[in-house]
Amino acid sequence: MDLGLFKQVSDVEWRVAPFGKMRVPAVVYADQALVREMDEKVFAQLVNVATLPGIVDAAYAMPDAHWGYGFPIGGVAAFDADAGGVVSAGGVGFDISCGVRTLHTGLKAVEIAPLKQRLADRLFARIPAGLGSTGQLRLDASEMDAMLRGGARWAVERGYGSEADLERIEERGCMAGAEPGNVSEHAKRRQRDEIGTLGSGNHYLELQEIAEIYDSKAADRFRLRRGEVVVSIHCGSRGLGHQIGTEFLRQMVIAAPGHGIELPDRELACAPILSPLGQAYLGAMRAAVNCALANRQVITQLARQVFADIVPGTHLTLIYDVSHNTCKLEPHTVEGQTRRLYVHRKGATRAFGPGHPALPGELRDIGQPVLIGGSMGTASYILAGTETGLTRAFSSACHGAGRAMSRHQAARQWHGRALVDELAGRGILIRSPSLRGVAEEAPGAYKDVSAVVEAAARAGLARKVAKLKPLVCIKG
C-alpha cells in the first residue's frame, strides 16, 4: 500500500487526516512492513468508511487488515445513533459472529502424542466439516426460533454443556435483542441442519500445544500451562448469517437514497440505526450471533464426547469464546464524554481491558482473553485486553493472520495433498473433506501471524499471553 497520504504517528500507527468527504480520520495499526503488504483497496475502503454518517472518532484498521466487502476485513468503526449514525451489513460481514473459543483439556502434549491419530480421526468423523455440511440436529420452526433467541444458553438447556460454560462466553452466551421474526424463512431453511458443523473456508477445530508463555500472571488466571493441550474452535453462523447479510445488503442499497445517504461504494450499503430497516437488521444480526454461539456450543460438546471416549475422565473446560464479526451497542468515552455507540467489528476481536464490567468476575482484574487464530499449520495466540486499548479502536484487536492472497491464487500455487503430507512431516495432522480447501488455506496464503500479534501488542491493543502450536487440525 502506498504510504504517501499517511502520517506516521508511531512505528505501529498510521493516520490519514480527513479529506474530501471524510468525516473522521482513517487510522491503521500496523508496522511498516505489514502496511506495505496491505492491498491498496484497504486504504480506499477505510477512507470510504470514514465518510459514513454518524461515524465517531476514526475509521480503524487492525494489523491483519485486508480487502473485504465494503469494510476492510480487520476494520472497526463506531456510530452514534443520536447523531444520525448508520448500521452497515458490510461492516459486520457475511459470517455473522464468526469467532473463536478455546478450551482446556487438562492433558499434556506428551500424553496426547500417542493418541493424535485416533483423536484426529474421531473428531473428523463426529464433527461435520466442509461446504454444505450438515449435523445430527434438525430444527423445526419452533426450535429454530428458540435457538435464535437463546444462543449457547439454548444449547446448554438441551444438554450441550453446562451453566459454567456460559460465564466464559461473550454476552454470557446469549445476545439480547434478537428478533427471529426478522430472519427470512430462506435463511432459517439454510440453517435447519447446520447446527454443530464447522462449515468451510478457514473454519477449523484444532488441538494446540501451549508452546510459550509471555505473561505469567494472565496465563495463571487463564489456567494456561506450557506443554499442555487446548482445543480451539473457529466457526460462525453458517448459511443463516450469510443469507441475512445478503438480503439486508440488498435492501440497504435500495433504501439508502431515501435516507439521504450517498454511498461511496454500493458495498457500503447501510441504513440509519434508528430507522425501521436499521432496527430490523440489528434484530436479525443478533439472532445470527446467537446462532453462532449455539453452533460453537454444540461443537464443544461433541468434542468433549470424543475426548471422554478416547481419554476417559477428560473434561474440556472453557477458557473463553469471543466473536469477530459483529455490531454491538457499547459505552465508550470519546473526547471525555461517555457515549453509547454501535461498534462494528469486521474481522476484529473485542478486547476489553481490566475492570470492564462485561467481563466475568474472575477475569475482570486481568482483562478479556483475546483469541487469535493462525493460518493452517502455523501458531495461534492468546492475548489479553489492555487499559490503553480502551482509548484505541474502541477496545478492539486483530482476529487472525489475515489473507495475503486470494483463495483462487492459493489453489493455483499449492496442492492440498502435498500440504497434508508436508504438515504431517512436521507432526501436524490435517483432516479435511476437501483437498482444494486445504490448498486455499495454505499457510503461505496468509500474513505472518506472529508479526500481526506483535504489532497489536506494540500498539497497545492487547498484550501477549501465550503462543499455541498446532497438533491436529480438522478443517472445512
Average pLDDT, the chain: 95
Burial classification of residue 245, based on how many CB atoms lie within 10 Å of its CB (0-12 exposed, 13-18 middle, 19 or more buried): buried
Burial classification of residue 451, based on how many CB atoms lie within 10 Å of its CB (0-12 exposed, 13-18 middle, 19 or more buried): middle
Q: What single-letter DSSP state applies at residue 55?
A: E
Q: How far apart are CA 339 and CA 96, in angstroms?
A: 25
- Read off the pLDDT of residues 154-172 as tens digits, 9 standing for 90 and up: 999 999 999 999 999 999 9
Q: Which of 318, 415, 430 is nearest to 363 (CA)?
A: 318
Where residue 81 falls (left for φ over 0; alpha for ψ -120 to 50; beta otherwise) is alpha
Q: What single-letter DSSP state applies at residue 172?
A: G
Q: What single-letter DSSP state applies at residue 400?
A: B
The residues annotated with a catalytic role in the active site are 399
User: Rounded to whole angstroms, what are the CA distances from 351 to 203, 270, 296, 462?
Assistant: 21, 25, 20, 7
User: Rounded to whole angstroms, what are the CA distances from 304 to 3, 68, 165, 222?
Assistant: 48, 35, 13, 19
Q: How far apart are CA 288 and CA 282, in angstroms?
A: 10
| pLDDT string in tens for the chain (476-residue length) | 666 788 999 999 999 999 999 999 999 999 999 999 998 899 999 999 999 999 999 999 999 999 999 999 999 999 999 999 999 999 999 999 999 999 999 999 999 999 999 999 999 999 988 777 777 889 999 999 999 999 999 999 999 999 999 999 999 999 999 999 999 999 999 999 999 999 888 899 999 999 999 999 999 999 999 999 999 999 999 999 999 999 999 999 999 999 999 999 999 999 999 999 999 999 999 999 999 999 999 999 999 999 999 999 999 999 999 999 999 999 999 988 999 999 999 999 999 999 999 999 999 999 999 999 998 999 999 999 999 998 899 999 999 999 888 899 999 999 999 999 999 999 999 999 999 999 999 999 999 999 999 999 999 999 999 999 999 999 98
All cell numbers assigned to 210: 501451549
The amino acid occupying position 268 is L
Helices (H), 270-345: 276-310
Q: For residue 174, which phi and psi values (nearest 5 degrees)? A: -145, 120
Is 237 in contact with 95 (CB distance < 8 Å)?
A: yes
All cell numbers assigned to 26: 482513517
- Read off the pLDDT of residues 332-385 as tens digits, 9 standing for 90 and up: 999 889 999 999 999 999 999 999 999 999 999 999 999 999 989 999 999 999
Say what angle helices 238-255 and 276-310 make with each other, to 10 degrees: 170
The amino acid occupying position 273 is I
User: Would you tell me how many other CB atoms lie within 10 Å of the CB of residue 266?
Assistant: 12
Those residues whose C-beta lies under 8 Å from the C-beta of residue 138, and which sit 6 or more positions away, are 192, 193
Q: Which of 310, 257, 249 is nearest to 105 (CA)?
A: 310
The amino acid occupying position 196 is G
